[in-house]
């Protein structure tokens, strides 16, 4: 009976560790997506600044 309890707890710990690792991978993916969107927004901002500076010259 004790061996079954230990096996059950080991199984639960493995499942918890797997879920934790999947969560970490998901968060890393979300961070990369946010980083990419930030870069895209910075590019748009730079283009707008160029356009506005050209309008100010005219």
At 56 the pLDDT is: 84
Q: Which residue has the tokens 């050209």?
A: 54
Q: Is 37 helix (H, G, I), strand (E, B) or coil?
A: helix
Q: Is the pLDDT confidence value at 58 over 70? A: no
At 57 the pLDDT is: 77
Report the chain's C-alpha Rg in angstroms.
25
Output b/e per residue, 11-36; b: 16+ Cβ within 10 A. eeeeeeeeeeeeeeeeeeeeeeeeee
Residue 58 has what DSSP assignment?
Answer: -
* Euclidean distance between CA atoms 31 and 24, whole angstroms: 10
pLDDT in tens, 6-49: 999 999 999 999 999 999 999 999 999 999 999 999 999 999 99
58 vs 38, residue with greater confidence: 38
């Amino acid at each position: 009976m004790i061996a079954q309890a230990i096996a059950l707890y080991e199984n639960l710990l493995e499942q918890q560790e797997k879920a934790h690792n999947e969560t970490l991978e998901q968060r890393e993916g979300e961070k990369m997506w946010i980083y990419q969107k930030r870069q895209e927004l910075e590019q748009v901002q730079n283009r707008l600044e160029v356009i506005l500076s050209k309008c100010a010259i005219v």
